[in-house]
Amino acid sequence: MESKQYKMTLDWMRKIHQLEYAHRFESIYYSKFEKWIGISAFIITTLVAFSYRFPTVETEFYNYLPFFCKHSYFVPIASTVAAILTGLSAFLKPSEKSETHKKTGSSYEKLRHRIELILTSDNKENEMSEKLEIIKQEWESLDAINVSNRYFIKGKDKVKSFNKYPKELDFLEDII
> Is residue 134 in a domain?
yes
- Counting every residue written for the chain, the total comes to 176
Q: Give domain status of residue 43, yes or no.
A: yes
DSSP 58-127: -HHHHHHS-GGGSHHHHHHHHHHHHHHHHHHHHHH-HHHHHHHHHHHHHHHHHHHHHHHHHHHS---HHH
How many structural domains compose the chain?
Answer: 1
Q: What is the pLDDT of residues 21-53, one digit of tens each?
A: 999 999 999 999 999 999 999 999 998 888 777
Give me the phi and psi of 54, to 5 degrees please: -60, 150
Q: Over the stretch 120-134, which tens digit does the pLDDT of each residue have?
A: 888 777 788 888 888
Instruction: Calculate the CA 90 to chain-centre distance.
Output: 18
Whether residue 80 is contained in a domain is answered as yes
Number of H helices, E strands in the chain: 6, 0
Digit-coded pLDDT (tens) for 162-175 = 988 877 776 667 66
Q: Is residue 166 part of a domain?
A: no
Under 8 Å between Cβ of 13 and 165: yes
Asked, for residue 70, whether it belongs to a domain, the answer is: yes
Assess if residue 174 is contained within a domain.
no
Domain that holds residue 13: 3-158
In a domain, 169, yes or no: no
Contacts of 83 (CB under 8 A, 6+ apart): none
**pTM of the complete model:** 0.81
